[in-house]
Structure 1
Amino acid sequence: MTVSKFMIGLVLSVITLTMFVPIVNLFARALSDPGKVHLMKGYDLLPKGFSFIHFEVVLSNAIVGKALLNSLFITIVGTCLSIFFTTISAYVLTRKNLVGKTPLMICLIIFMILEPGIVPEYMVMKDLQLLDSLWSMVLYRTINVFYLIIMMRFMEDIPDSLIEAAKIDGAGHMKIFVRIVLPLSKIPLLTIGMFYAVARWNEFFKSSIFLSSRDNTVLQVLLRQFVVDNDTTALVSAASLLSNNSVAQLDFSALKAATIVVAMVPILLLYPIILKYYTSGVMEGGVKE
């Protein structure tokens, strides 16, 4: 092993620890016994005692459950729509005989650089009667121009001979798109899909503006109210169920940690799944003997 590889590995290991240790600390604090949470110091990685009571309080709350379902709906449906419209737009924009391709690309790049402000976006949602509707966040920024350009670069690498052979066999654009382009674009599909999913799951600012009622709130908005603003009213009803239990003297720092873990785990589970198919997709493109 060379010195340069050792230094790169050392730097990457340090960066990994700066991300890994706080996450493990959150799990340890959330899983600690309520009466022993105060014994945790700094970045302890092991829980003090063991109890699921903090997760029980968070997950038994109807508001948290509703917010979690809303976030899942926005992320899943929104990501599927984004992938579909991004890929089909990329296919159209990579056709060599497309009329007006250059002006279209110039407009898209301008839209990417000069994003509209929150006031125009709010007025559009109001005119479409989508305020306080989950569809406002599902349809919001369905296509990201940067991800569209990434998809276009991958599609441009597909050999023209495959497309021409399909046309000779009588295949139309939709059949070429479904049978040839999509199967050869697994890696970019997974890549932009992960980007879209993470962005939609973590979206807080626009959700707090477009969604106003408790029934339509999302997990990130609820998380900020509890963790940042120290607004515990959303969890009072669940905590009151345990008020007669002398063992369950809830520690709110551990309750915050449990809430963060609940908001973090679904998106963390996405990475190993994507990595599995991403790796298999890379190997499929390798040279076989």
Structure 2
Amino acid sequence: MVTNSRQTPFERIEYVIILSALLLMVVVTLQPILHLVAVSFSDPARVPTMSGLRIVPEGFSLKVWNLLIHNAAVQRGFVNAVFITFVGTAINIVATTLMAWALAQKRLPGRKYILVFVLVTIVFDPGIVPDFFVMRDVGLLNSYWSVILYRGVFAWYLIILIRLFEEVPYELLEAAELDGANPFQTLWYVIVPVAKSSIAMIGLFYLVLHWNEFFRAMIYLNDPNKWPLQVVLRQFVVEGDKLSMVGVSDMSTYSDAGQISIRALKAGMITLTIAPLVLIYPLILKFFTKGTMSGAVKG
């Protein structure tokens, strides 16, 4: 970062203080995550002696990851979580974008009443019990769709997109209309390129929401084979039975599991659940650095 050479001494001190505070926040945030990674890759025999500040593995070992990766429950949970997350996020993005584009049209009949209804859903959340009865009555219990569709459009994200679409210059819409574009073509070729950074941001929010979902999945999904990874993690953390968590048949693997502490297995499971988000975030980050109007200019 380049600083202005004309800064006063007070401004330099202020800059150093702010930078130091931000670095301290980064260290405090990353240290617990790095500690979990270190524990999961450490020698199981040395894990009990590791302090909570350790961020370097104590003797490198893949025993924890070998047990977790070959666990049938973890494999199913990971596949289920990926399916629920990506299908749910895709539906959320499409539904939220279409609804926001429709409500951004001031000529839409009943627009004010629909917006009031959206605001009411923010203030008065129906809760889990009515949702459960709805899922039961429409026959979605014990189905992936009960976790995917229970919140197809999040009201807060909808309002964000509505306000963004309302700020799109009228000249762009008028030019598309003169070129003979219908509303869907205008949305796809004009609005989406203009708002792709905001849509990507909302998509990230939806992705995190689906990936971290465990409470409703635990209630709606009765079949353990359909549990996402977060529910598998919760069951293991609550029950703390590492042999049932390993779920293997040969005695040699059971012997290896007996040498691994619960702490190491928990660290591995938690690392496994947060790793996909850490890997996906940099791919979406590039959309945040672009201006919201970058898609409106053609070379």
Q: CA deviation at 1:239?
A: 7.9
Q: Establish whether residue 226 from structure 1 lines up as the match of residue 216 from structure 2.
A: no
Aligned residue for 1:99, secondary structure, equals coil
Whole-Å separation in 1 of the counterparts to 2:291 and 2:250: 51
Q: Establish whether residue 49 from structure 1 lines up as the match of residue 88 from structure 2.
A: no
Q: Is the alpha carbon distance of 1:246 and 1:118 closer, same or farther for their aligned partners in structure 2, counting shifts above 3 Å? A: closer
Q: CA deviation at 1:244?
A: 6.7
Q: Establish whether residue 61 from structure 1 lines up as the match of residue 53 from structure 2.
A: no
Per-residue displacement from partner, 1:207-232 (whole Å, max 9, x unpaired)?
11111111111111111111244243
State whether residues 93 and 152 of structure 1, in contact with CA within 8 Å, keep that contact through their aligned partners in structure 2.
yes
Whole-Å separation in 2 of the counterparts to 1:284 and 1:165: 17
Whole-Å separation in 2 of the counterparts to 1:246 and 1:65: 19
State whether residues 112 and 145 of structure 1, in contact with CA within 8 Å, keep that contact through their aligned partners in structure 2.
yes
Q: Is the alpha carbon distance of 1:174 and 1:241 closer, same or farther for their aligned partners in structure 2, counting shifts above 3 Å? A: farther
Q: CA deviation at 1:12?
A: 2.1
1:267 aligned residue: 277
Whole-Å separation in 1 of the counterparts to 2:157 and 2:257: 51
Per-residue displacement from partner, 1:109-140 (whole Å, max 9, x unpaired)?
01111010211100000011111111111112
The one-letter code matched in structure 2 to 1:63 is: A
Please, which of 77, 92, 103 is the counterpart of residue 87 of structure 2? 77
2:111 aligned residue: 101
Please, which of 237, 242, 259 is the counterpart of residue 249 of structure 1? 259
State whether residues 195 and 292 of structure 2, in contact with CA within 8 Å, keep that contact through their aligned partners in structure 1.
no
The one-letter code matched in structure 2 to 1:189 is: I
The one-letter code matched in structure 2 to 1:265 is: A
State whether residues 68 and 246 of structure 2, in contact with CA within 8 Å, keep that contact through their aligned partners in structure 1.
no
State whether residues 63 and 234 of structure 1, in contact with CA within 8 Å, keep that contact through their aligned partners in structure 2.
no
Whole-Å separation in 2 of the counterparts to 1:203 and 1:23: 20
In structure 2, runs of 5+ residues without a counterpart are 1-10
Q: CA deviation at 1:107?
A: 0.9
Whole-Å separation in 1 of the counterparts to 2:143 and 2:174: 45
1:81-230 → structure 2 map (5 Å cutoff): 81-230=91-240
Q: CA deviation at 1:84?
A: 0.2
Whole-Å separation in 2 of the counterparts to 1:96 and 1:63: 50
- In the comparison of the two structures, how many residue pairs are matched? 288
Whole-Å separation in 1 of the counterparts to 2:81 and 2:235: 16
Whole-Å separation in 1 of the counterparts to 2:19 and 2:121: 39
TM-score normalised by the chain length of structure 1 = 0.93
Aligned residue for 2:59, secondary structure, equals coil
State whether residues 195 and 293 of structure 2, in contact with CA within 8 Å, keep that contact through their aligned partners in structure 1.
no
Q: CA deviation at 1:240?
A: 5.3
Q: Is the alpha carbon distance of 1:119 and 1:178 closer, same or farther for their aligned partners in structure 2, counting shifts above 3 Å? A: same
Q: CA deviation at 1:284?
A: 3.8
Q: CA deviation at 1:204?
A: 1.4
Whole-Å separation in 2 of the counterparts to 1:214 and 1:153: 42
The one-letter code matched in structure 2 to 1:259 is: M
Q: CA deviation at 1:16?
A: 1.5
The one-letter code matched in structure 1 to 2:112 is: T
The one-letter code matched in structure 1 to 2:200 is: L
Q: Is the alpha carbon distance of 1:10 and 1:105 closer, same or farther for their aligned partners in structure 2, counting shifts above 3 Å? A: same
State whether residues 193 and 295 of structure 2, in contact with CA within 8 Å, keep that contact through their aligned partners in structure 1.
no
Whole-Å separation in 2 of the counterparts to 1:281 and 1:225: 43
Whole-Å separation in 2 of the counterparts to 1:250 and 1:270: 30
Q: Is the alpha carbon distance of 1:236 and 1:169 closer, same or farther for their aligned partners in structure 2, counting shifts above 3 Å? A: closer
